[in-house]
Amino acid sequence: MLHADAPGPYGHLGHLGVTPTAHGGRLRVYSRHATRMELCLFDPDDPNWVTEAVEMRPNRHHVWSAEHPDLRVGARYSIRVDGPDGPTHAFDPHRHLIDPYARGLARTSSGEWRSYVQNDDFDWGGVPKPGIPLDHTVIYEAHVKGLTKLNPAMPEELRGTYAGLAHPTTIAYLKDLGVTTVQLLPVHQSISEQRLIKQSLTNYWGYNTLNFFTPHAAYATRHAQFGGTGAVLREFKGMVRLLHEAGLEVVLDVVYNHTAEEGLDGPTSSLRGIDNASYYRHTADGEYIDTTGCGNTVDFSRPAAQRLVLDSLRYWANEVQVDGFRFDLMATLGRDRHAQYDPSHPLLQAILDDPALQGVKMIAEPWDVGLGGWQVGNFPAGYSEWNDGFRDRARNFWLTDAAAGRHAGSAPEGIGSLARRMTGSAHVFAAERGPLASINFITAHDGFTLADLTAYDYKHNLGNGESNRDGTDNNRSYSFGVEGPTDDQRVVADRRKAMRNLMGTLLLSAGIPMITAGDEWGRTQRGNNNAYCHDSELTWHSWDRAGWQEDLQRVTARLLALRRANPALRPVRYGKWGETVPSATQMDWYNKEGRSMTMLDWDSPSERTLQYLAASTPEFEEFNRVLLIVHGLEESVEVTLPSHVGVTGYTLLWDSSHDDISGIEPSHVPGERLRVGPASMLLFRAHGGPAAGPGSGGPGVESPADGDG
């Protein structure tokens, strides 16, 4: 088991959890305020029968330990902890608690949890991690169960499981689509909140973590669930190995900011009973300081909580071989002892500096719900961040601006703010971080799906049991005139083109794109924008798809192929005016007449047409140049293709006005006038070599300032 000492002030917290010894095993648990702690061992056949209680002893660093010859693989155990009374304490010497470092968990018939010593043996067969460079990375955010639960092409017992995710049909689908990195919604063992259980609902997404080291057992096959010690973990590792063999990465969505113990009246299962005062944020009178909206907040100003996260990351990255982590509500992990966010927080820096985590992808959800919680662009270099500004601008441009144009006669703004987002959000991320600091997305697990963005003006969450109060009201969506399903062919056509435009904006922009699983074929949740509590066909993926859904899937695969083939679309660095920066993209901007953009062209709501030439500055790949036309008005426009030094012609690669461009003339020349359809995007390959000398700029250099933070 991996318990290497972490850098910084954590050495005295090394080797927590169970470590095998020559004479059984040793358990070490941190509690600063406990006055007594004991290790309880259970009968192998009855997890309610304590066969032995072993007194644990503390050292001067408040680490309690005990050894026992029966603390071996398969042993079930718990911790019982006593301590002082007081508003910040929750000790109960009779309660059986989970070891925070437990590698395995089992539930009793009465609903309690027992830790067990995991069998972590596994033959990786020499399969390495794929090591996909960030500029080639395309993230596919998926739910382990939902992705394959309804897939008829695999045996029923594998559907909705780790094994199902690694089934040849799933891997073939992901490879054919062209994504590189599967980002899994939480797979740490989780439970449903007490409120949901009372409503006969479930926390399907899994953002309610019970333990940071144990894979969620319900996602394993029944064979693994009843296969003895280590079987679930072996299935998980087998999934990782098979995905790696196929060249696909695995990133885990990890929830360290809070735990399943909820508020003070929630279930006490581990950290609260071990040392509530040390692990959670609270006021002097014992009330929790909640920056997560989930009842409690882990206090990462304290070394024990920091060390817990580092050890969990090391375990999954090394022993389980995952490729990266997406940190839920990561602003919480950067809050100091005053609960204020600090970009130089020791935990944020320790994650980046840890030798055992080098080369691992680190992705921040850069906000939480506390005061000062929105921190987009304010994480240290080394993290990529979810860019909600990209999401909002793309939705505005193609959806709410279209609604405003129809209802008010004009869109509220020009094309400048979208251009800045598409070329890397240089006004958000520091120059040394570059465009790969931005995780671009249109949708995510929470919120409308891509199809629902174009079909609903309002959320429809009555099935969530909260009278439609939950979920955001700020969807930036547009139904194109009819709420929900319709047979109106004009509305249907507008919706499908809007989906193509949104997907094109995502996949042709600088930064790291993230596709929400199912968006590539138009998955709907029937207007529910917060479907976290539905483990049903509402959230599972249908594999029985209509013709238009297959068309959208082919468009997505085509866009991903174009992204791979054109390095000008995926710069590593920001360009600089008058300089040639390796692995940046040189930009030249033109209006619909093929002339240099003016401020009116950037800002005017009536001039929402942009052409930009993007030329790579080769470092590892061949020179490449493309022309992208973005037209954001609902009437067609005549565009003059730009004349540029070194450009001899243009070949049409994609046009969002059509599902298929095979019947359209592809070859064009500079200065040619071209009719561009309403509200559409076109991508061309620009032929000819690079012009002599440095280019005109890079992402964000030539585009106008906008006021969107």
Measuring CA to CA, which residue among 578, 647, 658 is closest to residue 611? 647
HEC assignment per residue over 9-54 = CCHHHCCCEEEEECCEEEEEEECCCCCEEEEEEEECCEEEEEEEEE
Q: Are 611 and 631 in contact (CB under 8 A)?
A: no
What is d(CA 566, CA 559) in angstroms, rounded to the nearest whole number? 11
Q: What is the DSSP string of 553-620?
A: HHHHHHHHHHHHH-GGGS-SS---TT---TT-EEEEEE-TTSSBPPHHHHH-TT--EEEEEEEE--SS
What letters, b where the CB count within 10 A reaches 16 and e where it falls short, cover 217-233?
bbbbbeebeeeebbbbb
- Cβ partners under 8 Å of residue 37, min gap 6: 29, 31, 56, 58, 64, 79, 80, 81, 82
Q: Are 414 and 589 in contact (CB under 8 A)?
A: no
HEC assignment per residue over 139-157 = EEEECHHHHHCCCCCCCHH
Token digits for 17? 């959890």
Dihedral sign for Cα atoms in the order 138, 205, 325, 336 = positive
DSSP code at position 314: H
**619: number of Cβ within 10 Å:** 12
Q: Write the burial class of residue 501 (CB in 10 Å: 0-12 exposed, 13-18 middle, 19+ buried).
A: buried
> Helix axis angle, 303-314 relative to 346-353, nearest 10°?
30
Q: Are 339 and 292 in contact (CB under 8 A)?
A: no
How far does the chain reach from its first CA to its final CA, in angstroms?
45
Measuring CA to CA, which residue among 442, 448, 441, 514 is closest to residue 475? 448
Q: Which residues are catalytic?
A: 328, 365
Measuring CA to CA, which residue among 636, 585, 646, 588 is closest to residue 613? 588
- Cβ partners under 8 Å of residue 11, min gap 6: 5
Q: What is the DSSP string of 220-277?
A: S-HHHHTS-TTHHHHHHHHHHHHHHHTT-EEEEEE--S--TT-STTS---SHHHHHHH
Q: Provide the residue count of the chain.
A: 709
Token digits for 157? 């017992």
Element spanning 82, H or E: strand 76-82
